[in-house]
Amino acid sequence: MRIDIITVSPELIKSPFEYSIMKRAINKGLVAVHFHDLRTFAINKYGKIDDYQFGGGAGMVLMIEPIEKCINLLKSERLYDEIIYMTPDAPTLNQQTANTLSLHKNIIILCGHYKGVDQRVRDLFITKEISIGDYVLSGGELGAAVLCDSIIRLIPGVLGDETSALTDSFQDNLLAPPVYTRPADYKGAKVPEVLLSGNFPKIETWRSEKSLEHTKAIRPDLLD
């Protein structure tokens, strides 16, 4: 899989890919991540990529020309399954979206900045818009990192145990059940006996019940 990230602040987003699971996936050759500094495609020698918005109002807007140049260059080199724009005014990222995107071969992620991008970018080039929550960040870089992590960990071969991702929260619209490890008794706080029983059908029943119980208490909307 190849992910191209268009950003005003490439240094801000690079570090999450240099550690842990995402670094492992890159080192294994399971995913290639490329960062593109939008200022490379600026409209003048001073690095201009933004301008005031028509109609007045606070905040600068990313211009269409630099973004078009970058996207067109990438599209001239390969086909892309999705061109994604990270923005708070979009459908919220969920596990089903991550599952779908993990099956793609090539995607572009455009990170918003300032007041956003010229609407014509969204109208003409973007195929999918994603938010990571009902709040506003200084730019789309952290959201893009979250999106990439949610996708990359699902690629076969990335996790040590591929079944691990299949039992994560939200895979079946339920939250994951509690998990325990050694010691079995920590200062009187004990691991449920069923988990120590070796009776795997009973263990799975317990996990299903706890998962449903946890979802009802924390996220009942997932059961609607």
Q: What is the pLDDT of residues 170-222, one digit of tens each?
A: 677 889 899 999 999 999 999 999 999 999 999 999 999 999 999 999 999 99
Residue 170, token pair as written in the block: 């939200």
Cα atoms found within 13 Å of the Cα of residue 201, Cβ hemisphere only: 0
Q: Where are the domains of the chain?
A: 2-152, 167-223
Q: What is the pLDDT of residues 137-156, one digit of tens each?
A: 999 999 999 999 999 999 99
Of residues 102, 219, 78, 98, the one with CA closest to residue 155: 102
Round the CA-based radius of gyration of the chain to a whole number and report it. Answer: 21
Which residue did the predictor score with more confidence, 130 or 222?
A: 130
Which residue did the predictor score with more confidence, 96 or 164?
A: 96
Dihedral (CA of 129, 131, 134, 136) sign:
negative
Cα–Cα distance measured from residue 130 to residue 97, given in angstroms and rounded to the nearest whole number: 9
Q: Which residue has the tokens 């950003």?
A: 7
For 109, the enclosing helix (H) or strand (E) is strand 106-111
Answer whether 2-152 and 167-223 agree in fold.
no
The percent of residues in the chain predicted with pLDDT above 90, rounded, is 88
CATH superfamily entry for domain 167-223: tRNA(m1g37)methyltransferase, domain 2 (1.10.1270.20)
Contacts of 94 (CB under 8 A, 6+ apart): 170
Of residues 90, 116, 92, the one with CA closest to residue 8: 116
Does position 82 have pLDDT exceeding 80, yes or no? yes
Q: Which residue has the tokens 């208490």?
A: 217
Whole-model pTM? 0.89
Does position 166 have pLDDT exceeding 80, yes or no? no
Does position 161 have pLDDT exceeding 70, yes or no? no
Predicted confidence at residue 172, as pLDDT, reads 76
Q: Distance from first CA to last CA of the chain, Å, rounded?
A: 34
Residue 96, token pair as written in the block: 């089903």
* pLDDT band with cut points at 50, 70 and 90 for residue 162: low
Does position 38 have pLDDT exceeding 60, yes or no? yes
For 185, the enclosing helix (H) or strand (E) is strand 185-186
Predicted confidence at residue 13, as pLDDT, reads 94
CATH of domain 2-152: 3.40.1280.10
Of residues 21, 3, 8, the one with CA closest to residue 153: 21
